[in-house]
Amino acid sequence: MMTKISPRSDLLMLVLFTAAILTMPIWLAPIGAGYPDLLQKFAIFGLFALGFNLLFGLTGYLSFGHAAFLGIGSYAAVWSFKLLGMNPIPALLFSVVFSSLFAVAIGYISLRRSGIYFSILTLAFAQMSYNLAYSVLTPITNGETGLRVLQSDPRLFDSTSEASGPLISNLFGIEMTGYSGFYFCAVLLIIGFYISQRIFRSPFGMMLRAVKSNQNRMSYTGLNTRPYTLAAFIISGTFAGVAGSLLAVTDPLAGAERMQWTASGEVVLMTILGGAGTLLGPILGAGLIKYFENIFSAYNEQTLHAIFSFLPDFMEGAVVSLASLFVGEGWHLTLGLLFMVIVIFLPGGIMEGFNRITKLFRRRPSRVGKRTGHSHSPASANAAE
Amino acid sequence: MEILSVKGVNKRFGGLKALDDVNLSIEQGHVHAIIGPNGAGKSTLLNCFVGRLIPDTGSVTFLGKDLIGAKPHEINQAGVSRVFQTPEIFGDLTLQENVMIPTLAKRDGAFTMNAWARVDGQGEIRDKAMHMLEDVGLADKKDMTADSLSRGDKRRLELAMCLVQDPKLLLLDEPTAGMSRADTNNTIDLLKRIGERGITKIVIEHDMHVVFSLASKISVLAQGTVIAEGQPEDIKGDPRVQEAYLGGAHV
């Protein structure tokens, strides 16, 4: 199976991950995903899914309201821009503080229940937040128009700078758009990945997996499960808050729809698609969904005609009209099909697929080497698991 | 010295009187067996000791600490471990992790935010866990998932998880139920070896072979009350015990 986990293999994993993320603009270009807007989304939603996985993947508690923290992070960041200026650092700090405070409150109440009841409670909280942001709290959230930074805002630290053009977040002079925006998000994703890796390998992470496995045994082993789950919920909510603030950093605007239940559902899909409980899976899932959303939805009948132009005319029309159901507005259909295929054939997500493939390659040489011991090789493969 | 004292414990489930004024006194270092026919209230009594059930009246005192109303993890941290009738283990985790968790719980208490250290850096904890696994003969399976074990092995794993915490009092709920004769004898040997560590044990058991090879004192429970108590030899010949087991007045 996998190579033994050691501090060394983890360091190697982190280095490879960092390299892969930082070179994304290069290796994603051939598949048409190498442009900054999409790369930013990859990094931001990767971080969101990474945090969600710390709760769902480790403890098994399925939060169905994680988008609330995404929204809270965005609003906190925009308020930081309005009050303190366009620097993203205070915006990040603001969203960390607010999202973790909300996570304490929501987690404290929701974690009194487990299973489906926990999911429903978190969903209720998220919908409450959405409705509050949409209507009741208009003075703070600017309702359905969305919260934006205005020229007339105090912006204590940079109100002196010349007021021309749209307001863009900038880190000591570097504007947080385009590739510099992506690299800012990428650095945070890498930091997030490092934290997540430390938690996965720590005694705390082991306790969280124990929560998922058998809570009864945990209590009778002298462990109080409640603070463990609450700590996981807060860390996870804070990750979502940071992701939300990055959305505001790359585009200083926060709207209530960011908190809607569809957004909460999306992060669940990302995590399951990639592989819940694995380190890399959720990031892959987030990338895949965002890629589909942006690439497939951009296809239209003309591009399809171009793709299928090699077919004879009478077939081309039929194929295009069938394929057009799955692209453009209908890209959700493709996503749904993909999700079904993965859940049915690879319940462990894309990561399980990878593991199966590597296992296949590992097994093959032993079979070639032991031509006579035909019955022996499956047994040894089983023992290796 | 008395380690656990049970006084006047009553528990009702609706119209059923599951425990009726139970009094017990467990001496330190002894193996105390609780026997009785099905439905006598043995497991209910054990549940009252670990905080799973709260008795209607009465008191359970462990080394001077009142256990009534205490949470399960508090009772465990006070030094009471329990082996369940159906093994309660961490099925998704490896055997080594299964034993490391109670070891960590013993060292770090009910909650510690130890999120930055590495599990594979906890040499002392791992050595202790591995030592325990060797004691119960599961060391060569340390990287297997606990769910893939046989029932007998699961039970031995659960026992290892309890023993690694060096409990003051160990509660065993039918430790050999559903085991083959060979497995049962292995478990008896294991429990006898534990006995040498001076851990007080309460054993609930149906199998008289197990009871008479382990117990230094026996209480017989029938219809929620203790009907006889004493040395194994006295219990064997007690007519009330035979009546409770073989039927008679109450049938």
Counting every residue written for chain A, the total comes to: 385
**Tokens encoding A5:** 């986990």
Q: Give the residue from B82, B41, B50 showing the smallest Cα distance to B68.
A: B50
Kindly give the pairing relationship between strand B80-83 and strand B2-13: unpaired
Quote the CA–CA distance of B184 and B177 in Å, as a whole number: 8
Q: Does B119 lie at the interface with A, CB-CB under 8 angstroms? A: yes
Q: Which residue has the higher pLDDT, B217 or A159?
A: B217
Q: Which helix (H) or strand (E) holds B225?
A: strand B225-230
Q: Does B173 lie at the interface with A, CB-CB under 8 angstroms? A: no
Residues of A in contact with B108 (CB under 8 A): 203
Question: Does residue A218 have a pLDDT over 60?
Answer: yes
Averaged confidence pLDDT in chain A: 87
Helix (H, G, I), strand (E, B) or coil at A368: helix
Mean pLDDT of A292-299: 83
Residue A70: predicted pLDDT: 95
Taking the CA atoms of residue B126, residue B128, residue B131 and residue B136 in that order, the dihedral angle to the nearest 10 degrees is: -100
Residue A369: predicted pLDDT: 43
pLDDT digits (tens, 9 = 90+) for B120-139: 889 999 999 999 999 888 99
Angle subtended by helix axes A203-213 and A36-59, to nearest 10 = 70
Of B82, B110, B117, the CB nearest to A220: B82
The interface residues of chain B toward chain A in range 132-171, judged by CB-CB distance below 8 A, are 161, 165
Q: Does A9 lie at the interface with B, CB-CB under 8 angstroms? A: no
Q: Does B116 lie at the interface with A, CB-CB under 8 angstroms? A: yes
Q: Give the residue from A204, A300, A254, A207 showing the smallest Cα distance to A98.
A: A254
Question: A251: which DSSP letter?
Answer: S
pLDDT digits (tens, 9 = 90+) for B217-227: 999 988 889 98
Counting every residue written for chain B, the total comes to: 251
What are the residue ranges of helices labelled H in chain B? 42-49, 72-78, 95-108, 123-135, 151-163, 181-195, 208-214, 232-237, 239-246
Quote the CA–CA distance of A181 and A169 in Å, as a whole number: 9
Helix (H, G, I), strand (E, B) or coil at A87: coil
pLDDT digits (tens, 9 = 90+) for A221-249: 999 999 999 999 999 999 999 999 999 99
Residues of B in contact with A219 (CB under 8 A): 71-73, 76
Question: Does residue A164 have a pLDDT over 60?
Answer: no
Distance between B233 CA and the closest CA of chain A, angstroms: 34
What are the residue ranges of helices labelled H in B27-108? 42-49, 72-78, 95-108
Q: Give the residue from B181, B182, B183 showing the smallest Cα distance to B152.
A: B183
Domain edges within chain A: 34-158+168-277
Residue B40: predicted pLDDT: 86
Between the CA of residue B203 and those of A29, A132, B33, what are the distances in Å? 68, 57, 5
Question: A4: which DSSP letter?
Answer: P
Q: Please answer yes or no on whether A199 and B112 come within 8 Å at the CB atom.
A: no
Q: Does B246 lie at the interface with A, CB-CB under 8 angstroms? A: no
Of A198, A217, A227, the CB nearest to B115: A198
Question: Does residue A342 have a pLDDT over 80?
Answer: yes
Residue A11: predicted pLDDT: 95
In the beta sheet, which residues pair with residue A113? none
The 3-class SS string of B164-199 reads CCCCCEEEEECCCCCCCHHHHHHHHHHHHHHHCCCC
Size of interface A-B (CB pairs under 8 A): 104
Quote the CA–CA distance of A345 and A349 in Å, as a whole number: 9
| Contact between residue B141 and residue B149 where contact means Cβ atoms under 8 Å apart | yes
Q: Which helix (H) or strand (E) holds A67?
A: helix A67-84
Averaged confidence pLDDT in chain B: 88
Quote the CA–CA distance of B221 and B35 in Å, as a whole number: 6
Residue A165: predicted pLDDT: 59
Quote the CA–CA distance of B120 and B122 in Å, as a whole number: 5
Quote the CA–CA distance of A275 and A351 in Å, as a whole number: 6
Q: Give the residue from A54, A80, A67, A90 showing the smallest Cα distance to A198.
A: A54
